[in-house]
Amino acid sequence: MPPAPSGRGLTFKAYAGDGAVLLAFDVDEPLREDLAGFAIEYTDPDGKISPVFNRINFQDPVTADTTNKDRRQMATDTKQAPIQKFHWVHFPGDVKPGDFTYRISAMRFRPGTDDQVEPVATEEQTVELMPKQPAKFQLGFTRGYLSSQAYLDRFGGEDFTPDPLTLGSETKDFQDKWRWLGFHGRRLVFDFLDEALEDPGIELDVFAFDLDEPDAIRALEQFGPRLRLFQDNSATHAQKTPEDSRPLELDAIDGVKAKGAQVKTGDFSGLAHSKVFIQRRGDKAVKVLAGSANFSVRGLYAQSNNVFVFDDPQAADLYEQAFRQAWDGESHFRSSEIAAGWLPIESDALPACAVSFAPHKTAAVSLQRLADAIKEAKSSVLFAIMEIGAASGPAMDAIRTLPDRNDLYTFGTTQKLDGDLKVTVPADPDSPFIPFSYLKAKVPHPFRKEIAGGSGQIIHHKFVVVDFNGENPKVYAGSSNLANAESSNGDNLVEFADRDVATKYAVEAIRLIDHYRFRSVQNKATADSPLRLKRRDEGWAKDFFDPASPRSLERTVFVGKPRETG
């Protein structure tokens, strides 16, 4: 992709995500010496102009003990407290259809001052953050409980789920929270169910792993005999003895069966791990929803997840073939035709893509293709993966080589980082890997509630983005954990070879990266060394212009420029 337009020494590129935008910027040599950072403002589709605020400024010190209330009061217009980095992920307060116009100003220190700034160059870009009407392919993300600094601002730290959670739980008081936390991913799930319920000619086939979201289960019950549910019955969803706690999935099964649904359970000798809804009219599948999000309270409201919908008979039929194989002959799935390789989805109305269904005879059936894409990357590999350290297989082997790929910008988030993965400086902001376990132990007090969503995974995504702004962008996403368990787990994995889809996943990956990278910096802030904006003589941008630094590569990759050499 060519670099963004440049004028008066400022280069600016805006990448549209799912209700968010990645803003990337750079400056030419003449503007670097007194550069103070970047100011951001935007105009929404209604013409309202709003500044973007920075939660740190030149004057107020931030430490691990700074309260959320104090941080809100410190928020300062970026025209006075510029962003001191070369990209920013912004979430407008009200995402709506239409054009958002972003204006970026390079800010310099005024002569004779070390904390007063003024603009020296301004550029603008226009992006759409919400389609005007649904397309044949839709992609949505959950916000995840990790965003609860904003959650605290909005809801005051209230609980996000009924306690205790039962399938009969009253959810009225949680709807505002759930709409906000589940964001577009949740909306896709419930729109899909509502659409199917309203059409008496539609039947629903469901693959479910975690299944305890009360409203979703009540919706499934309304299908009655129009529902077929294939539910995982691996150890976490089974009650082995009467003394064991009873999983809510068993209550869900009883509830839908009582209304006339057909239910089968299984685990493919591992896990029945897909999270899929298929709309079917007679014996013809017409629409399918899939992704990484379980139909559970944690899956939609606590975790970072993605959901996608194909409104296309061919795509839906492939998922339906996988469902029928599981329904009629689970034990023969890995030797079936549907599990034998990658299957192209060919439609002019959809992004270029292909899908694979596991379990396979060997994990390489699906994962070698991902491993090869990583090895062939030209500029960047971004990822959000639940587990790397103990996982195995061709994809994980390729990901483990990324710290040695000096030719690439590689960065990602993972919740578990153990096993034989070597990290030179754990949790260093420049490390390609930031282990969630480190942050959970070290995160400072004001942010501990961000990861207090109960037991289980927080980063639940399973996706890899290759060369998102290069010539051949690709994304690999779905329910697959991208490891050798694909020879025993029921899963699906989609390859998207589409720039728009790759951009949306890239924005999500960078959102997660920035979130945890800031936390690792925040953890080091003390009264003697507080976090605040750097003044003129503190050289905040030095690493960004050092060709040997990952920060420099980050800067050039995001704006689409060639890598600089020393």
The 3-state secondary structure of 255-280, one letter per residue: HHHHCCCEEEEECCCCCECCCEEEEE
417 falls in which pLDDT band (50, 70, 90)? very low
Query: pLDDT digit string (tens) for 418-439?
Result: 432 222 222 344 444 443 333 3
Among 410, 539, 547, 553, smallest CA distance to 84 is for: 539
pLDDT tens profile 30-85: 999 999 999 999 999 999 999 999 989 999 998 878 777 888 889 999 999 999 99
The sign of the dihedral angle between the CA atoms of 212, 222, 160, 152 is: positive
**Two structure tokens written together for 389:** 């350290």
* Average pLDDT in the chain: 87
* 289-298, 306-315, 447-456: least confident range: 447-456
The model's confidence at residue 407, banded by pLDDT at 50, 70 and 90, is confident
Q: Are strands 284-291 and 276-281 parallel, antiparallel or unpaired?
A: antiparallel
Instruction: Reduce the DSSP state of residue 147 to 3 states and report it.
Output: helix
How many other C-beta atoms can be found within 10 angstroms of the C-beta atom of residue 441?
A: 10
Place of tokens 């129009």: 226
Parse the chain into domains and list their residue ranges: 6-131, 137-517
Categorize the per-residue pLDDT at 394 as very low, low, confident or very high, splitting at 50, 70 and 90: very high
How far, in Å, CA of 359 to CA of 357, rounded? 7
* 347 or 456: which leads in pLDDT: 347
Give the type of residue at 25.
F
Which residues have C-beta within 8 Å of that of residue 328, sequence separation ≥ 6? Answer: none
Q: CB neighbours (10 Å) of residue 284?
A: 11
Q: What is the pTM for the complete model shown?
A: 0.91
Neighbours of 110 (CB within 10 A): 14
Task: Please tell me the predicted confidence (pLDDT) of residue 79.
Answer: 98
**Element (DSSP H or E) covering residue 180:** helix 175-198
Taking residues 198-205, report their average pLDDT: 99
In this structure, which topology does domain 6-131 adopt according to CATH?
Immunoglobulin-like (2.60.40)
- What is the pairing mode between strands 227-232 and 262-266? parallel
CATH topology of domain 137-517: Endonuclease; Chain A (3.30.870)
**Average pLDDT for 523-546:** 89
User: For residue 514, what pLDDT is reported?
Assistant: 80
Q: How far apart are CA 454 and CA 451, in angstroms?
A: 8
